[in-house]
Each structure stands twice: as structure tokens, then as C-alpha cells.
Structure 1
């Protein structure tokens, strides 16, 4: 009895889960190699595959291949380790290398002492078993063992040895062990004996025999077991079952799917992901087959030459429907053909008596319930387009190819027309809005018709109305061919938002379930949306609306649903919804359909690919060089449902105000590019629930600056620019200062030049005055100097006239001759006199003897002195030379001797020259009448006066000595006058050999 019940239950489960959609993956679409050796799922939800060309990670969207590993070969085998401990181990061929998968990363174990899956024990190999499948081969020369938490089971020569630390080795009393039937469930080892229909359970070395016949010990059963996943699969006649538990000495199975020709695919590994209801099948030759188990059921008739395109239908029994062809189907397929014939698929109704009405060309066919729908009646309507029922109102639409007409009938017999309304567009749908008004959907708009006043008002134009639907909650919805769908409330239309890909532009039909969701069919998927979100949007169109889309990835045979029929979708008494599609009628229980959202704890942002290079990992901060072109930041989410429903949004603080939805294609990534250097914060959020809750992740991004973009460089440049600016200002200031100084100097120079010009002019004026004075003084000097000789010659001439003695006359003639000759010689040098007062050159280039001047002057005045009984004597101790201006010195001597001759009678005039190291002293000493004390004081005082004093005026005491004093000062010499002893006057002139000798410059 229990076996019969089990078979019935298994049949039920088989029917329940037999529909599935599968996808193959191989080297052409993601895998590096077609041999999938093992499949495991880590604690983070990611799938891992072992192949003969590396290890593959899978997140539901992309296969990530790891074959650039530091290993000797890429032929990997089975998975070992512990998923809960985040430790998945895999070895390559011959255990040459060991790989650890931890924290979603692959690490090579480089230690030479790592444990292996096999060892050599005496003359036999000891090899570890972690997986069992029909493809596994066991050698008679190898010892095998299984490790459990409590101990170890060893198999050799049909014996089983259990070993633990407490009791040591224990022989398990079971003979004839077939390892291909072995599997481990938790800590218990199971072995089946198909021949005797027994199953052995061994727990810590103690066996228990399960004698009940079951699928486990069926001779046609194949067992798949993998220790790391803890999953055991039973394959029997293409039916795949999963071991779910052990209770009351019975192994409990769950039917998954029926997979045709399963044994011909050489599947070597199996994994069932219960979270997403996916079955992963790894073939040793064909790659990976991912099977999506589904609770969507697409009923197909599977009759030759009969298409599966479905439109209108009616509920027939509790779990069956009937279409206009008369095919009765349930979710598993055809139940019965009632043979209605070939009819129009788009219109079908029950009348109030339960009769079925459907359209056939220009006629409405009525099939009677009383005859079990075997008899029918036909009502002909010329130009029939469709017919409708809403509550108790029946209507028929016709067209004359120009206009269309809606005829309202008195009752369901469709005989008596109560009213007719004319429209320009085709009438597609019909709804009784209230007792007096109807909503009419046409190809050119939506109309509201008043029954009492026969008034037609257009509510909206330009939209092609497909269906008018009143959901179970009383809301009225309008679907269109290309303009989306609307909520009709208070005689106003509220346009609803569309999905991200605008598939709902052509929404077909809307059904509401008891859990607060609307289900909307379209040409590309079945959508689920929260009722409150749409109704709230109609009040405030700023509120978000989140659609969840079901497609072939979720188990539908097609994503294209059919529309434009009446009725289009409805719910059965058993709670299942029915929607027509292009592959048959889709059945599903909305309570059992799960919408998949990411686990908020399983969202990882840790991988990046920069400029198409290899993928690398980062922790919290992502650092990019300045020369990057683009960087793909991966959002790793183990999400194995339709990526359309994976809503990931991003924004960069300071760059974006609004969230930007990332388009999920082959890879789940966010790409950044064209960001300048600096620090950025990338915010990511992932929708984790249907109400729009998000889980957030933050990535700090630092883009390094180039050397000239660094703060230090900018600071240096700023300082340098500041320095240059200051230098420019300083240089400019200095330039202006120098220029000002130059200008000042120039002005000063100009002032000086002007002053000098003025002084020069004054000097010129003075020079002119002096020149005039010089000329005057020159004449006076000449007159003075020649007056004595001339006077003497005149006197001698007078005496010559008065004397008659020949000898005396001769003497007088000689005196006149000598005086005249000397006077002649004096006049020859008058040119030198002219230069005395004008020249500033008081020195000669070459030395000359002073005695030359003295002798000349002695000869000039010698005859005159004789006439006065005086004589002139030159006293020179040695030959004395000097470089002083000869003309000046000659003039000085001339005047001093002349003055002495004039004032000396019967006396002597001594000309004395003395030389010492510092000076030459010239003395003119006479024994004449001498100067008075007043004269001595005057002339000595005159010498002490400045050259600027008007000494050149030669006042008071005559010309000669004034001129001498002037010339002495010009020679930077000094002169003194004092009494001669015993009588007369001595004039002493000291001429200093040192040209300046501390004296004041004549020009100053």
C-alpha cells in the first residue's frame, strides 16, 4: 500500500516539475573546455566548475575562467574541502598541484608537503573518494577511503573498515561491496544491493539493513553523490530525484525533472541550487547544461499540424480550460478534444445558462451545455467583427469597412437590438461602467456611452485600445497596442509608467492576485508589479514603480504572450492563472511563483579591470593611474535568475545628482572613464525587494595626478610664480629705481650741466672779463716791464745829446745799444707774456737751468743799474734745474729785479738761488731805500688772500709786485717780503718741488 502511495506521489511530483527550460554552455559560449568534472557552490553563492582547461567561476551571468595559474597542468578533478568553512580544495592530475578557493578567490598552495587525494600503502594505492557517479571507474588494485567528521571508511577486497580515533579499526560485516552504489548522507554511509533490493546504512561503523524496495536499490537506478555539496541524486528512467532526508528508516526523495536520454549525455557531475530552482549538469564531452525548473506550465496539445498559438479560452472544469477549437487542456497538456471545429480564436463567452459562444466568420456559434456541448446553434451577423459580454449586457460589433457599429441586445439570445452606436474605428473591447454608461475601446480611442441619452463621448483619442479590464479589486485598466496601459478612474485616464525596456508599451491583459500584485502579459514577458505602487503612481507620478519580468529563463516556453482576445486571461477555481501565449496556455499559481532578488549579504564590489587588462582585486579603495582610459568595476552578485530583474544603480558623489541604472548585459559592471585626477566616491545600490528596498555599497576612488597635477607641484609652481612675480616686481621696482636714479642723475647731470653751463657761462663771462683784464694787465705788464729800459734809453739819449765827449758818447752809445738789444730780446718773448695769465700749465715737460733766466735778466738791467752806481750779482751755489713754467718764472724774476733796480742807487742787488730736497728758494735782496713797514705788511697780506679776491686789480702800490704775487700763487709757490740788513728789502720765493705739496689747487 505504501509503495503504491509513493508511486502515485512520485507521479504527481513528476507531472508537477517535469516542465523545464535548459541551456547548454560549451567552448562556443563561455567555457574553456567541454569536460565539466565537478560542480560546487561556495558559501557566498557562486558556482565553481572543474574542467580540463582550468577552473571556472559562474555568477549567473558570466563564466570567469582561471587558467593562468602557477600549476604544472590544467586538468582539474573533483572538489574537496568544506563549503561552510570557506575552504574548497581542488587538485589537478596526479595531485601535482593544489588549489584553494576562499573568499571568492583562487590561490595556489605552493607547499610541497600538502596532503593529496591518494597515497601508496605497501603494494597498493590508497585513494580518497569524494564523489560517485556512473562515470567513475574503480580499480581492484586500489584501496579507497571516505573521510567523515567522525572517522574514515576504507574499502578493499570487498571489505569495509571503519577507523576512528577512539575505537581504532572496526570491520563492517557487509560483503560484496559495489562502490558505484555508494553515497554519504551526513555522517551515515549508504550502500545499495540492487540484486537483493536492499539498502545498507552504516553509521560509525555499525550497519543497518533497509529491506524495503525503493528507487535507491532499483537495478535501473544510477546514483550521483558529491561529498562537498552533500547532495545525492537518483537517476531512474530519465527521472532525476534529489535525496532530501532520512526519516523513520526511509530515504526521502524529491522529484526534480524528467530529462530525456539522460544516460546518453555522459553527465559526470550534478548540482541542484534550491535557492533558484536550477539544476546544473556537467558532461564529460558536451559542457554544462543548466536546467531551470519551473512552476510555470505551458499546456500544449502536441497534435500534428495543429499550432500551439492560443488566444481566447474559458474555464471548463476546476483545473481545465476549453478553447474555441474545443480542446480541453490542463497545465500538463491536452485532456480531451470536444471537436468544435476550426473557429475564430479571439472571442469566446459563457452566456448566463452556461452555453459557450464563439465566433466563426460572420456568425456567432452557441454550443449548449445541456448536450455536453455537442449541439450548437448559429446566429449570422453580416460584417461581424466581434461580440462581447459585460455583466448582463451583451453586444455585437459589425463593420461596413468604413465605420463600425456596436449593437446592444435585450438578452443573451442576441435577437432583439436595443440600441446601436456608430464609431469610426473598430470596436475591440466593451465594459459596462455603470447602469447607464458603457466604456467602449476602439482602434481610434476610448469612448464613454450614455445609454439613456444615447450620447457618445470620446474620453481619449489617438490610442488603439486593446482591452478594457476590471480587476478583482474594482480598478479599471486600459491596455493598448503601442501606448502602454492606463488606469481609468473618475472618468479620467492615468498613464502608467513603463518598464525599463518599454516592453509594456504593448501590454495585453492584467490580473490581480490575492497578495497585492498585478500580473501583466505582454509581447515580451510576463510582468508582476505591486498594486499599491501603480495606484500610488496615479496619485503622484514621482513615486517609483518596480516591475518584475518572467521570461524563458524562468521556465516559460516563450516570452511572447498573445492579446486582443475576449476573454484573454482569468483565474481558475483552484487559484491558478491562465494566460494565452504563442506556445500554448500558460498555467501558474501566483502564490508559488517566486520573484528572485539578491541577498543583501551577497553583494561584492572587489574586482576591477583597467584598460582591458587582467582582472585584479581591491579592498575598499580603488587607486587608478592618471593615464587610465577606462576601468570596469564589477558588481559581483550570485544571481541566477533573469538579469532584467537585477536593478543596480550608481552615481558618483559630486558628479551625478540622480541615480543611474546600470545596464546589465553580459557582465555586471560599472565603467568609469574621463574622470580627472582627484578623489571620488562611487555609490552603488542594488534592489533587494519588490517594494524598492536597496542595499548600498561604496567605493572610494583615487585617480593619481600626474607630477604636474600634484599639490606639491602646484605649490612649487605657485611659489615659483609668486617668486617670479615678486622678482618681476622687484626687478621692475629696481629698474624703476635705477631709472629714477638715472633720471635723477640725468636731472642732476642736467642741473649740473646747466649749473656748469651757467658756471661755464659765468666762467666764460669771467674769462672774458679776465681776458679783458688779462689784455689790460698784459699791456700794463708790458708797459711796466719795458718802461724802465725805455726810460733808460731815453735818458741815455738825452745825455748823449748833451755830452760832446767822444769817449763818453761812445759809452752812452754802448749803454743804449746793450739796453736796446736786451729790450729787443724782451719784445721777442712778448708772446710768452700773453700766455702768462691765461695758461694753467705751470710746469714744463723738460727741466731747464734757472741760471738761464737769471743771466738774461742780469743783462737786461745791468746797464740801468750801472747808471745808478749799482750792480747785479747772481749767487748760485750750484747748477739748479727745475720744471716750472719758464715764462712765469722769468716774469717773476724780471719784475723783482726791475723793482730792486728802481729802488737801489749806489748799492748791490743779489740774486740768490738755493736748492734743497723739498724746494728751490729764490731771493732778490737789494741795499736800496727799502719798503716801509706798511708796504711789507700789505704785500705779505696780499699773498695770504684767496685767488678769488680781486688782487688782480693792482691797486695801491702799483702793478709789478701785484703781478709777481699773482704768478707766485699760480705756481703753488709762496713769497715773503722782509727787510734786508743793513738796509733795503729782501723778497724770498719758495718754489716747491712736490707739485701740489698740500697746496690748494689753483682751479678750485
Structure 2
């Protein structure tokens, strides 16, 4: 008991309080160095189509979050000065700008297909410096009378309310101008430092020292601004800038931006951005849907400041690096990470849990947290803040801790073993996993069946029989497995792709944007049927069924929303390989581990839908000549000689750029889509005559997605020789020529008729000759069949005698077994000779028989003659010793190109024949190139052949009759390889057999 108290006091001492993070923004600055034409941005407005318009001293500039497009005097016809001094919107959302020469420019909404071009307008506009534009003849008349009384030029700075009322203050002149007429107001002794419209229908004036007057229906109410702005020293000194836009009223002071609001007669403030370094802020715009501020400056260009979609807690430094894997949770939504506990309000404190390498965690109903630390099971009581170390020694790293509800026990899975224990760490049973299995995760299925994620694939494991009943993806290291409500398995690997297992089939998922889906750390399904996928390259949201349909081939596209550094993540790399590695909180927040901090966000608050902004055609030019968009109705007509059609498109999407990928298609292949370059310009060079549809779409869209695509019809007119009239003329001309030709042809045919009759007679004679030839072929076939019958008879005769002799020799050997060894040896030698003769005869016959098959093919290769000479020498070495013969084979480096097996068969027959007819002699094999081809000679010093024997050897019919199968095989095989045989012999001096291979020449 005393030990537990001491441990508890130690924990209280080590646990230190930290505070939640502030000021998490993503700031981008655009200047003349990265696309902005000029660094002085005086006004920022968004039109109804979604485009951002900037007033600069280089003209009006349109921004679509990707490209800046200036509209100067070259585009706005009649514009005298590029310098834009003012730009405001009216209550209908129409943007109007004014140049240095008081020229008014109108920016309306874009059409359904083509973007709007700014144009000069004669509309009488009473410009204001804050609030909404309105047409007010009373203001113009009043201002003119004031202006005429001034000895120095005066600057008009009225404020327009959304209801059309206007406030005008200039020294002693103070007016409230309504539609019914102007009303004189009491002026103030000093000019305010800043003035602006607030809450659309009130006018606010601000003096140093936090003194304000808020006007409502021409009645001023003095007071001060409450909230965080009241303590800003710069603001109190009057060093601030009042900024207004349709979405709110703001004060910039001391590097901070404060939002003002008016309610119940009081003006309050709240800090929205801190620690900025703006030298001369001039204007502001705010997009609540993106939680992004746009601030224009006098010298620093344009700033976009996005409030992060993600929240990071300040973890105490003593807890160690914020590289997290396992994320635990208690019943009151306290989050357990490495050596720290984070409260729901994002405060945290240090706890020495020693869980730096833990990959599995479980919290029971008493808020006791079980986890593994260096192969030991620890338990931390979050209520008493006590730690029980090593309640169980494990054999390896724990990868899963699963509660068994039925008996209130725990199932622990390490890399190699399953443990069932009590909540106190007592082992109930311990079972080794099958040999060669390295577990990385464990998922309960049913009836004591579990799904094992391993470094060797996904296994179905029967706990009762301790057997693996099924296995998939055996060559992959599995990081996580998730089973959805349709019993589909979603599988993530260690960088080798992600997979879907459905209906007993494995489907590979798309690699995803920038290959991110190759490493999905978790498949996190929300209540709306979406996956949240943390990867090594950002966080993605995708509809579960859309992803499944794409993987199984039911659909051709799917859309995934990307979240990365652009949305406020410190890093795009998340962590996985732990269980659990995410947590849902009661307020619908989701927490994820990354290599740089614990990430908290609210999925239902994120803008993660498909980009809804339309795609617009911005510019069209044909061979460098611009086309006026207003003159295009339905189709673009091109001459057949056109060289280049350039089209610029734009889509004013200000979300994450990863979520808008434009692509185009032209032609009939609807599945071939080409990415549109970041410039938005595509070039089409030459097209055959015909009608085309040029399609632009957002990647991931389908036919039911709104605003997903636009189409342009293109007609390429044909050359004159491709027109129907030209073709009709050609047909008429060809018909006339055909008629004339047919007349001449008939006359010629009459002349050729007699010639054809003679040819028929000649062909008849040739046919008769062919019949005679066919009859001769029939006779030859009969003779060939007769020859084969003779060969069969010869085979039966020749094989019968050796077999009979072998039988008799065998009987004699058995009968005389007890005789002397010399006699038995002679009989064995004789038997061996008979077997050798029978074997050689069999080889010869079957080689010939194989060559007679219909599908027999000659396979020519390049090989060394020396190699096959050596093989023949080794084969016949012992056979030659029987007749006391020897080889003489000179070395050669000749390479031969023919069928090696056929050539070896021929040479073996010739060597065998030479050995039979030679005793105490020499058998030679040599080769040489001759003009007529490669010659190979097999010669012997035997008894030789006479002319009659040579003729019988070279005549196949006689060879068959005389039972010389060897010569028949040699001659037929030589025909197969385009060879010829020549025999030279002189009786008593041996014979020379010369093979000539005509295809082989040096």
C-alpha cells in the first residue's frame, strides 16, 4: 500500500501542465516574382462565378487560385489608364471598378460556358470607400456642392450600407443620405482614424484610445470596442487599419487581425489571425467556406491566410518527439500517446508511461490502459494515475490487445504468440502461432475464427484447431485490415499497394493521387459512408462504395478529397502499423498520429465535397488569331489548313489544388483523357475533316456530377477535293471514262477471243500431261509403299536373328556357368556384341522412323564441330577397341549451322559402318570449308568397297533390299539438312565418306 502511494506521488510530481496551440495558419504570398503582375493590391472581390478580382496599378487582375490573368487596355477596349483606384460590389454582387481617369469598368458573372470579360460601362456609379455601391443622385449633387467650396482638392470617402443608405463625413460636412433625401449630421472635432460599415447596416467610426461612434439610421452612439482588440497597444495608439469586405469588418493592428461584430448596441472583437508582418494592408476578403483570408497590401502583394483545418496539442517537451503510432482513449475522451495524456480541450501533461515503442493498446471499463513496453505488459490507471509495470512478460512485441467480452479477459497477440490472460495479467493459456507466421494485427471474425495480418499476407486462423485455413497476398507485409458492414475486407500493406477482398476475389485499389494509396495506414469509416485514409502522402476522404465500385470495375472513376500541408498539416506523412492508431471523440472529432504531432479535426466540418465551381472557356485562338467568345454559338469552325487551335480554360476553385484535376478528351475514345496543363492552355494541331466534340471535365467526375464538364463542338471543313460536289464530279468523270474504256475493251476482247481459245487448247494438253504425271505419281507411291513393306520385312528379319542368338547365348551361359571363367567371358563378350548390334540397329531404325513423321521439323543452330567430334569419340572409344581400331580426329575451330542432332546421327552411322569394315586400323574424322560448302570426311583403313558396293550404298531402293538400313537413314537425313554424300574407296585401302553441307560456307 505504501509502495502504491509512493508511486502515485511520483506521478503527480512528473505530470506537468501544457496549453493548447494558437495561431495555426497556412500563409502564401503572391508577388510579381511568382505571377502577380504588380505588388500593389488595392481591392479584392469575388464574383458570383467564384473568380477573385484584384485592383492593381497594372489593371484589373483575375485570379483562379492557379493563374493570374491581367485585364489591361489591350483587353478592355477604350481603357485609358491601367491604374485602378477603386473596386467595389453592389448589393446584387456585380463588381464595378474605377480607373485613374474616372472610367467605370463592369465585371459581371460569367455565362454558362464562357468567362466574362471586364468592359467599360456608362453606368453612373457613386463609389464608396467602404460598404456597398449604390446609384445616388443625392450623393453626387451633395458632393459637388461640397467640392466646389473647398480650396484644396477633397477626397470623397463615403460608406454605403446594404440597404442603400450612405454616410459621408468630411471635416464639418457630415451627412446621412437616404433614398428620401440627405440628413445633416453633427460633425466631430477630429477626424476618425478609421471608418467602415459593420454588420451591413451600421457605420462605425474609430478614434485612438478605443473611442468609437456607431451610427444607426443617422443616430450616433459613442462607446468602445470590447474583446481582445481592446488590449492591443498599437490599436490604442491609433496605429491600425480598418478593413471591410462583404463577409465582415476587420481591424489590423500590431500584426494581428481582429473581426468586429455589432450586437445589442455593442461592438465586440475577436482575434482571428496573429503574428503577421504586413507593412501596408489596404484591403481584405474572407471566404467562410474555406476559412481563408485574402489581404492586399501596398507593396507586398497578395497574402492568402488559411486557418488550419487541423488542431495540434502542445505536448510537453519531456514527453519526447511527437512521432506517434498508438493512440489510446479513456471514457472521458482523454487521449493516451507516448508519455503524455491529452485532454479534450487540447491541454496535455507529461506521464512517464515508457510506451515509446508500443504498437498495441486497450482501455478497459475502469479506464485502465493496457499496453506493451519492451516485451512487457504494463497497465496504467488513468483515474488514480498509477502504473503497474510488467504484469506479464511477453515473448515478443505485442501487436494487438483485444477484450474477450464473454469472460472479461484479454487476448494478446504478439508477433509469434497468442495469450489469453485475466485483467491482472495471469495467463489462462498461451499458443504459438504456426511456424513462419509473423503477426502484425489481429481481427476477430466469428466462432473462434480470427483474421491474422502478417508479414506474409492475410491469414484466416482457426483458434480452436490452431490452423490457418486460408491465405491471400502471401508476398506482402500487411499493415492493417478493416472489415466493413458488407463483410468486405480492406487491406493496407507496407508500401506495396492497398487491396479489397470481396466475394472471394482480391482487387487492387488505385494507387491514388501521387501514389498515396500505396501506403494506407487505416481505413476509417465515418457515419456517412466515407473512408478517411491517412497515408504517407496526405489524408484523403473517399466514399466507401465509390472506391469499391472502382476497384471491382463497376465504375470508371472515383473522387477523393485530399488534405495536406495546404490545409494546415505540419507534415503529409501519417503513421500506422499500430492498433488502435486513431480515435473518435464524443464531439465527433477524429484523432490521428503522424510523424510530427497528434492531429485532431472534425470531419463533418471540413469542406471535402467535389469542386462545385464551373469550368469556363477563357480564351480561344486559331493560328495565333484570337476568337471573340461572344460570337461563338455552338461550334468552332476550322479551315482544313489550320495549324493550331489554342484554348484556355479556367475553374475558380480555391480549395486544395489536389482536388481539382482538369482533363480533356477529343474524338471517339471516351476513355482516353489527357491532363490539362497548370496553365489551363491546350493546343490541338491539325485534325482531319469532320465533326468533333472537345470535352473538358474534372477528374473523378461522372455523368451525374453537377458542373463537372463542358463541351465544345468543332467542325473541321474538308478540302475542296474532300467535298461531296467534288466527289460527285469525280464519279461522273469516272463513269464517262469507263464508258469509253468499255467500248474499246469490247473490241479488244473480240480480238483476244481467238487467242483465248488457243490458250484453252494448250491448257487442255497441259492438263492431260498433268493427269499422266499424276498416274505416274500414283505408281511411285505404290513403289514407295512397297519399299516401306520391304523395310518392315527387313527389320523383322534382322531383329529376329540377333534376338535368337542372344537367347541361345544366354541359355549356353546359364548352362555352362560352372565352366572356366575364360569360356564364360567369351560368351559374355559375344552376348555384348549382339546387344550392341541390336542397339545400333534400333537407334538407326527409330531415327529414320521419326524423320518420316508428318510433324518432324529440322531445327538449325550454330555449334562447334569439335564438340560433336569429341562426343562421337567418347561414344565409340570402347566399341572401336573390340576391332582393335582407334580414332584420328584433328582439332578444328569450325562453327557449323545445321540441325545438330541429325548431323550427329549421320556421323555415328558412318563411324559405325567404318568400324564394322575395319580391323587393326584407323578411323578419321575431319572437316574443311570448300567452295561448294562445308565438307566433313569419315575415312577408314579397312577393306574398302568396290564399285558395286558403293552403288548399293548410295541407292536407297537397293539398300533397302539388301537390308542396309544405315545407308537409307544417312541418305534421307542428308536430304533433311540439304546435304550430299560422296563415297571414294579402293579395295584393301579403306573408304572415304564425304558429307557436303551446301548452306555452310566460310
Deviations 1:657-693 (A, max 9, x none): 44x5553652456654453232222344558999963
Aligned partner of 1:109 among 94, 99, 120: 120
Residues 310-349 of structure 1 correspond to what in structure 2 (within 5 A)? 310-316=324-330, 318-324=332-338, 326-330=339-343, 335-341=348-354, 343-349=356-362
Following superposition of structure 1 onto structure 2, how do residues 813-828 of structure 1 map, counting pairs within 5 Å? none
Could you tell me how far 1:388 is from its partner in structure 2? 1.9
Instruction: Name the counterpart of 1:22.
Output: 27
Residues in 1 aligned to 2:551 and 2:736: alpha-carbon distance in whole angstroms: 70
Residue 258 of structure 1, CA deviation: 2.5
2:294–2:303 contact (8 Å) kept in structure 1: yes
**Structure 1 residues 755-834: aligned runs within 5 Å:** none
Q: Is the Cα–Cα contact under 8 Å of residues 399 and 440 in structure 2 kept in the other structure?
A: no
Structure 1 residues 433 and 297, CA gap change in structure 2 (3 angstroms):
same
Structure 2 counterpart of 1:429? 441
Superposed displacement of residue 513, structure 1: 1.8
Deviation digits for residues 797-844 of structure 1 (CA, Å, limit 9, x no counterpart): xxxxxxxxxxxxxxxxxxxxxxxxxxxxxxxxxxxxxxxxxxxxxxxx
Structure 2 counterpart of 1:442: 454
**SS state at 1:390 partner:** strand
- Compute the displacement of 1:389 (Å): 1.1
Counterpart secondary structure, 2:418 = strand
Aligned to 1:288: 302
> What's 2:418 paired with?
407
Range moving further from structure 2, 521-530 or 730-739: 730-739
What are the within-5 Å matches in structure 2 for residues 930-945 of structure 1? none
Matched, 1:89 2:101: no
Residue 250 (structure 2) aligned to one of 233, 243, 256: 233
Answer whether contact 1:626 1:703 (CA < 8 A) is retained: no
CA shift at 1:240, angstroms? 3.0
Deviation at 1:272, TM superposition (A): 0.2
SS of the residue corresponding to residue 95 of structure 1 reads coil
Shift of the 180–564 alpha-carbon distance from structure 1 to 2, 3 Å rule, reads same
CA contact (8 A) 1:364 1:379 kept: yes
For residue 265 of structure 2, what is the aligned residue in structure 1?
Answer: 249
Contact kept? 1:598, 1:638, Cα under 8 Å: no
1:644 aligned counterpart, secondary structure: helix
Per the TM alignment, residue 586 of structure 1 is displaced from its structure 2 partner at its CA by 1.2
Distance, in Å, in 1 between the alignment partners of 2:202 and 2:461 is 74
Give the Cα separation in 2 of the matches to 1:414 and 1:574: 33
In 2, the alpha carbon distance for the partners of 1:469 and 1:266 equals 53
Q: Which of 447, 452, 471 does residue 464 from structure 2 map onto?
A: 452
Deviations 1:515-548 (A, max 9, x none): 2222221112222223344566688744754332
The reply on whether 1:74 has 2:85 as its aligned counterpart is no
User: Following the alignment from structure 1 to structure 2, what is the Cα–Cα distance between the partners of residues 678 and 126?
Assistant: 70
Q: 1:81 to 1:693 in 2, by over 3 A?
A: closer
Find the residue that maps to 2:194 and give its secondary structure.
Answer: helix
Summarize the Cα distance change of 1:226–1:454 in structure 2 as closer, same or farther, 3 Å threshold.
closer
Query: Corresponding residue for 1:58?
Result: 63
Give the equivalent residue in structure 1 for 2:386: 373
Give the counterpart of 2:678 among 652, 666, 675: 666
C-alpha contact (below 8 Å) 1:199/1:217 kept by paired residues: no
Retained in 1: the 8 A contact 2:210–2:225?
no
1:420 equivalent to 2:432? Answer yes
Q: Provide the rounded CA distance (Å) in 2 between the counterparts of 1:211 and 1:370.
A: 47
Which 5+ residue runs of structure 1 have no aligned equivalent?
1-13, 128-138, 399-403, 741-1004
Unaligned runs of 5+ residues in structure 2 are 1-18, 110-114, 130-139, 750-1002
CA distance in 2 between counterparts of 1:163 and 1:308 reads: 60
* 1:41 positional shift: 0.7
Aligned equivalents of 1:500, 1:615: Cα separation in 2? 36
Residues in 1 aligned to 2:655 and 2:21: alpha-carbon distance in whole angstroms: 20
Of 730-739 and 387-396, more deviation after overlay is shown by: 730-739
- Residues 107 and 588 from structure 1, CA distance in 2 versus in 1: closer, same or farther, beyond 3 angstroms? closer
3-state secondary structure, aligned to 2:35: coil
Check whether the contact 2:292–2:306 (CA below 8 A) recurs between aligned residues.
yes
Residue number among 38, 42, 47 corresponding to 1:42 in the alignment? 47
Look up the match of 2:321: 307
How far did 1:568 drift? 0.9
**Conserved 8 A contact 2:453-2:481:** yes
Number of equivalenced pairs: 699
Offset, 1:351:
5.5
SS at match of 1:434: coil
Name the counterpart of 1:924.
Answer: none
* 1:170 aligned to which of 173, 176, 184: 184
Give the secondary-structure state (helix, strand or coil) at the position aligned to 1:594. Answer: coil
Cα 1:73–1:690, aligned 2, differ >3 Å: closer, same or farther?
same
**CA distance, structure 1, for counterparts of residue 480 and residue 747 of structure 2:** 96
C-alpha spacing 1:166/1:407, structure 2 compared with 1 (3 Å): closer
The answer to whether the Cα contact below 8 Å between 2:532 and 2:542 also exists between their aligned partners in 1 is yes
State the secondary structure of the residue aligned to 1:503: helix
Question: What is the alpha-carbon distance in structure 2 between the residues aligned to residue 699 and residue 193 of structure 1?
Answer: 56
Residue 553 in 1 paired to residue 563 in 2?
Answer: no
Contact 1:51 1:75 in 2 (8 A): yes
**2:566 match: secondary structure:** helix
1:450 Cα deviation from its structure 2 partner: 1.4
Please name the residue that 1:192 is paired with.
206
Question: Of 519, 522, 542, which residue of structure 1 is paired with 2:532?
Answer: 519
How far apart in 2 are the matches of 1:44 and 1:433? Answer: 51
Give the aligned partner of residue 601 of structure 2: 588
TM-fit CA distance, 1:334:
5.2
Question: Does the CA-based 8 Å contact 1:158-1:177 persist in structure 2?
Answer: no
- CA separation of 1:649 and 1:468: change in aligned 2, threshold 3 A: same
- CA deviation digits over 1:561-593, x for unaligned, max 9? 111122211212332111111221111122222
For normalisation by structure 2, the TM-score amounts to: 0.61
CA distance 1:737–1:278, change in 2 (3 Å): same
CA distance in 1, matches of 2:701, 2:260: 31
- The more displaced of 309-318 and 98-107 is 98-107
Is contact 2:664-2:676 (8 Å) kept?
no
Q: Using a 3 Å threshold, how does the CA distance of structure 1 residues 597 and 277 change in structure 2: closer, same or farther?
A: farther
Equivalent residue number for residue 260 of structure 1: 275
With over 3 angstroms needed to count, the CA separation of the structure-2 counterparts of 1:413 and 1:40, relative to structure 1, is: same
Alignment of 1:642 with 2:656, yes or no, is: yes
Cα distance in 2 for partners of 1:492, 1:726 equals 64
The residue number in structure 2 matching 1:679 is: 691
Query: What is the match of residue 934 of structure 1?
Result: none
1:97 to 1:534, Cα distance in 2 relative to 1, 3 A: closer
Question: TM-score, normalization: structure 1?
Answer: 0.61
The alpha-carbon deviation at position 455 of structure 1 amounts to: 1.3
CA distance in 1, matches of 2:219, 2:706: 52
* Secondary structure of 2:734 counterpart: helix
Kindly state the Cα deviation for residue 472 of structure 1 after the two structures are TM-superposed.
8.1
Contact in 2 for aligned 1:648/1:661 (Cα 8 Å):
no
RMSD: 4.3
Q: Distance in 2 between matches of 1:487 and 1:707?
A: 54
Determine if contact 1:605/1:697 at 8 Å carries over to the other structure.
no
Q: 1:170: how far off?
A: 1.6
Contact 1:471 1:511 in 2 (8 A): no
Find the aligned partners of 1:370 and 1:200 in 2 and give their Cα distance: 53
CA distance in 1, matches of 2:400, 2:306: 39
Larger Rg: 1
Give 1:193 shift: 4.1
Say if 2:259 and 2:272, in contact at 8 Å, map to a contact too.
no
| Aligned-pair CA distance for 1:46 | 0.8
Q: How does 1:560-639 map to 2 (within 5 A)?
A: 560-599=573-612, 602-605=614-617, 607-610=619-622, 617=629, 618-639=632-653
How far the C-alpha of 1:168 sits from its partner, in A, is 4.3
Distance 2:149 2:506 in 1: 77
